[in-house]
Amino acid sequence: MAAYAITLDEDRLEEWVELFAEDCDYRVVTRENVEQGLPNVLMWCDNKDMLRDRVESYRHVNVYNPHYDRHVLGPLHFTAAKDGLCAFEQSYSLFQTSLEGESRLFSVGRYRVEALIDGNQAVLKSVTVIADTGQVPSLLATPI
């Protein structure tokens, strides 16, 4: 997850995508919906091509607030491991800083992750971002 955070924080989104398996699932949901059992998503890519499409769209098409991201991660909490597939949860804080240097807490929540572990390599199979911060400040573009 260190590589996950660093690639996002350094705006290396293409490298961030490469941390995922081809048949991955990445979604951003909010705690408000999860607690009510509602399936709504803020973002949902159900394979790696959709992640590539998002990143390409950010690079060439979408307009969003120029900013720096900074992820601060909590400890990993392993929940299951089977046949090289490892499940864990981890809390995060994501701060955003404007080009004029003004920082704000953008989102806080937790990751629910499934990763395929092969030796020293980990490939992300599924990442669900469960954001406590249901009220998105301004807009959500770059992934959490």
Residues that bind another protein (CB under 8 A): 28, 30, 32-33, 36, 38-47, 49-50, 52-53, 56-57, 60-65, 134-141
10 or 46: CB nearest another protein:
46
Alpha-carbon distance values, 128 to 63, 67, 88, 115 (Å): 25, 23, 11, 12
Residue 6 has phi, psi (to 5 degrees) of -65, -45
CB of 62 to another protein, least distance (A): 6
Taking the least distance from each CB to another protein, the nearer of 19 and 134 is: 134
Q: Are strands 103-118 and 85-98 parallel, antiparallel or unpaired?
A: antiparallel
Residue 77, φ and ψ in degrees, nearest 5: -120, 105
DSSP string, 103-115: EEEEEEEEEEEEE
> E-assigned strands of 32-120?
43-45, 67-82, 85-98, 103-118
Q: Between residues 56 and 89, which has the closer beta carbon with respect to another protein? A: 56
> Least distance to another protein from the beta carbon of 47, Å?
6
Q: How far is the CB of 120 from another protein (least distance, A)?
A: 29
Residue with Cβ nearer another protein (65 or 79): 65
Shortest distance (Å) from residue 104 CB to another protein: 11
Q: How many residues does this entry show for the chain? A: 144
